[in-house]
Structure 1
């Protein structure tokens, strides 16, 4: 469209230029119609120029004789051009004026040019009032916006060129004087300079410049466009550059002025407690002007490729309701702004429900209750409200019963004024906050009432604590305007020595001082009030008691900084790599992103970088900082990363166990969620076969017995403060840990008989360990205060339902029955338990290695299926497999070397002890093998069972236990053999042990007596 228009402009330029030169370029009909009717009709037509009828007008120009009526035609077309604003109408005007110019030339165009300049010229100001001036400006700007576009179009097509082409006799003297010095310059340049510079600070020229550039920016700034000469284009570009720079300067000035007005208004409102009307008028005027200049600046800078300066936000903020939404849960009572005492209090004041969410269907009985009864019943409920849920329900009832009318508002207002219950004021404030939009009138009336009461207390010897508390509660919900709040604080501070003022200020600061000081909306003003209070405290006229009271006020609002607070507030500086690891593991990790996160974290070299080790350990040792649902993925991530970084698993489990124990020692209910997360993480590690079942059992015993004397819980023992009889959280932890375990037994689907036997043996030991623990666990439960809470009972039922059918056990009915069963188990199995499990661990080591190898292969296969196209990841996984295979080979070589070493050692032992029989030689060999087994398992997380489990050995008093080494294929097995003490072999061994003991004592005595 623009290319076609530019082509037409060039055609008209050629014709109009030839017409100025006197060439006859417009063809008329051979016989022109000179009738009065036709001429009069034409004059009427050109008063309204539009794209719909311009063809008829052009036809009339070629057929009608118009010479006698040129003055009327010039007047009519001048009026018609003032009304043109649309693009199509501008094109029609170009064609019509060009036709008239080409036909009549100097008889028509100079006079139309003079009328045009009269319409575009900026006026000479006369003293008038503001309303008339504003009205005149609006009309002038609308006229100039239309004519400036037509002027540029007529200049481009050669109709209006310079002031010399104009009829000077029809121009006012001020216009002739204004343009006389630049008669040879293009007329569009002269007019633009005049319009853009006229009262530039008023902003009236902004819409004119925007309209001009919207239509002609490609003509002015496209150097390939040939409609303008190089000099004219360059001058126009300079004009708009200078103009835009001036606009940006004014924008900065207006922003500064707006800030000063806002500051002045703030100080005046705080000083008087009211917002002055003249200040608001000035601020609104400057704000409107600032917005106009800012919008124009953005438009002009976009076209001219200039930068809009960054401006500080000096615009006054409107008093509006606080925007509330979902607040992310933080651990314990964490509050970044230090405003609230705990999360519950913060949520009460900040998580305001939407009124639409509380609205439900209207009750069916609404028509059966009269309006007065509804109000009375509602006021009664309002008086008895006691918690957050009840007040939210009352809001819903207030809406559904359609109680929002003047009578109800008056009753509620009266109730608020007369109620003596101070404790419920915060609930009433929440009621008003939720209904802020619908009860605006009631809120304003209540604020006015409290404001007047506050003023009377400040300047009179009165003290009404209820009004002060109500005022403070409304402040916490941000229902009171800022200037009202700080007018009260300033008045109290300035008149601090007056009667009761220091008491009122003390209550005020205790209730909402920290809120005002730390909330971003009030922080700056509150700091000013604190400084004013500090200055007042230096007044010599104050008594010692007043100065002490002021110091106490400052301590309430600004607690003194301690070393503990400083350490708590200091956050460690993390490197970008550490931040990346923490971000991925804590915030991006979930079931969908696990593979991507794991691959990204595997690329780091943790073995050689202590900073990365610290970050990684911090992530895995703090599962409570993750979403609870993502703990499963965190355990899988630990499984993968611990293949390369072997000590990571050990450090993580050690830290987790230490945190669990520390949590039990602190016994802080706010840490319960943290300990639950830790236990959940431990259970997931067991499910991934990173921990054995004995570790789980030992941890369970630690959880139950920690803090009890001799690790022995006793019934109703109130002396143990960290585990009182009415505290059931340890039971909950144990239930959660055991319920989260997938299974305590392994599958027996293997075909190898040796491996099958080992698995069955381990399953038997696991079931035996669990049976003993569950017996002890029931005893512990009976030690607690009965009856156990229902939610804990549900967890116990789930636990027993899961394990008791396999263990063939029954739940005990009372404490006595559990004690008898526990004593019976101790007598039967207590002596053998530790030794049996040592044998079980030897078998468990080999199977764990095989399982680990299988797991590694499975994991790598899964990763290959996830993304076959990722070459780097595949190479990485292959490396992991190679490393795992190398580790397995190394372990096998170490085992072979150890077996050879033990074999050689046993042969030397046989030669050295010829006097002992063959059975004694086997026992000695077993002793070495047993020591070797203990040495090989030194890295396991072995925690001894509580003393009670291994207490009694009375049933084995007449027997002595030996370890018998047997060999089946390539595997060595150790079995426990109990021999009577009266056998020849046992007697010889006991005699040898006694001789060794005597020999050691003799050597010790000699050493001790050397000095003598």
Structure 2
């Protein structure tokens, strides 16, 4: 009781603690939600305060601007200019006045005070026009607008002619023609702002119809209506609306209007321009905005159309030309600029943005690649990697910040090797360099590499580090080596030496390439030169091998491309350059080394490039190009298989990954010992293990029998061992023998009925298994004979009209099964003379027959076999002619079918058959003594067959005796004479070729000629065809015209024949021209190759031979010289 009470109290305390924890969690969650709501409310409150303050600042600025303009406007309207005597007292110096005009022309806000002081001392009455022109020509900035307005107001208050002169200058400067765009948008925008500000300040307000406002209206109208094709005037219009929209059109920005509505603070209206004019100006801007939106939508549709075309080109060719890329960039830049203008205009006018239609991609476009990629992505949900382990190997690199805290955080994201920043054009230029220059560049780089002299201890450590690199066989070892290099060996010299060592990896150690690439990627944040130098060396080596085009060093070439593929997956090598390598190799695909290189490159990084969005299109195009070249070119079977394997390594078949069937452990154990561990050496061990199986369990025993029946899962040379295992187990479990043999016979019958090529190996294995079971006396000879008869008779038809689906005329696989069964357990005659055997089957049948009957004579054709039959007939007739006198009544009993059976069974003379029987009986007795369990059945059956054949042959030969008579000889002589006469008559006849087309005589053509007037007349289409009919009467020929309907069979056949002849002539002509063009191209290519070969100068050119005097009398003058007297 105490224990129960204690347990109850403990349980109650634990429940209470759990409830308490749950309550605390709920309270904490509620507090967090309250805090989040409070923070959100606080943020909203702060945003509202900021918006309200911005609205108040905006209103305050509007009020200040309006007050300043009103004050200046009142001064300019109510101006009181000085009298003429005032100007006479001022300085009228020419030099000072021209300097003033020059300062105005180069006006800036810093010069305002100086110019105002000059106005007080200079008399500028004669320079008002020059000053007004200089003011309109000045290149001002936005900050100079208000100081310029102040200077203009000062001039206006002193000189009455200034406003008219300035207005005329502004009219010339701001008025634009309808067909001309604005020359300088930046200056025009500032000038328009300056003029609009002067209008508001009242320079031209008197008289009441303001001339300045009218000119401003005409300028705005011309800007709005001109250049509607490209809307190039939108920039000055936007600038004007942004600066003076509140005054001239009553425009309020969207943000301020929403804040005013939200907080209930009214925005004051400007009173300088009447409110009734605001609507007119606003409507002008609204119409212009609507037109601009239509232009934006048109531009948007053009851009989408161009993108659609580019998408189609990418799907077909895999890349875009440089011109098309530049055109797309121009269109995109223009579209973005227009879109930005539309947003600004929409914000100023407080109207919604236009709805830009998004064109949906049609299904016909997506089926080319997108559906393929969709099914591919469904099979590989991890993206560019096929499994998580591969993804971790190529992406989860060691974090160097743990070992190097001083390393910058963004070091891992720093710029990749500069080799990736390259374009297709640069690569095309590099590929054109000759191979000799590349080799020289490599030698020069190696010669100029100076080895630094450092610490000897460090040098030994680094050499030891390099020695241990080839032992890196897993990810952890490589990461440890990378960390060791970063901590202790990271110098410029060691980086170069490491890159050179990695590049020189043994060409047979392809297993090290992934780990070396991971090493380079791991140390890249702190040693980027290793990746740069290694990529550069691999690139040069690749180009060298491509240009060299030799038939050696295939292992080095494969090493280079596989190293490049591994670096691409670690993003150390540019994907663009990887695709370019594939492109270069595909251009010369007839070179066998290039086939192997591109296949290895696809197998290494093809799936990565195909799954990556940036390179997916081009990779697919290159794969399709490779498969097209493989189907068109006559590649060797090895290279064709290699190409298919590379393709399916990138894009696996639709079947996807195979799912292993889950089986109970006992089933896996049985399959393991029977299918994988069974051999001739350990058969006793397997038997012991099978005897330990629970044979009383029906499920287990049935599964063991099933595994014993399925002999195709065992290796072919172990089938005999499996049959011996069945024989041994059957001694303990008799039912195993019956079930296994029944299962084998059923499988053989099923294979005959299904007849699919994919089961051929299985059928051979089962027939072999049946023969081995017969060898171990598990099957009876009757079963073997039934199977042999089944193989040669099931579904066989002798009618050529009704083709059997179980045994078509060209199907010879059953003969292979018969040969396998006979080679395993014996022989039974099988004869077929319909079609010649394939060479492989003919040799197989011959070997099979010779192995069973070594002395058998095998005939090669029907004539030889017929001669042998005739000789056998004579042999038998000589034996029975003395004993039996054939009766005439028996002649009618002869049957040609029995003759055929006789030919089938008789294969030699009687002595040969007796010799064969003796030889076979001797062989069987020897085999029986050696332990062959099937020798007894073979020895019993063969002599019986030969004796029955002999008796049948003797009886049939008696009926085949021929009686000669005189009538037969007379008939044959007459027949031979008749045939000879016919042959002589045919030889005398003159053989002439059959003439299909008969030429029409000339006099008939002469009657059909037309005059010039008849030819000029337009002939209407007739529904008949004119033929010339030749009629023969006696020895005379007459011709008549015959009009045959054009739809008659005669006319149609004639036209079809003419058309076929014409097409045949065109085909022959085209083939001839193609052959000539190809020969010309080959000659031209040979000529170009010979011209491009470097000319080799012969340094050992021929020297002039020394003069050799002919034999005869010596030349005295040459020996002793000429005398001076002469």
TM-score range, shorter chain: 0.3 to 0.5
TM-score by length of 1: 0.42
Structure label with greater radius of gyration:
2
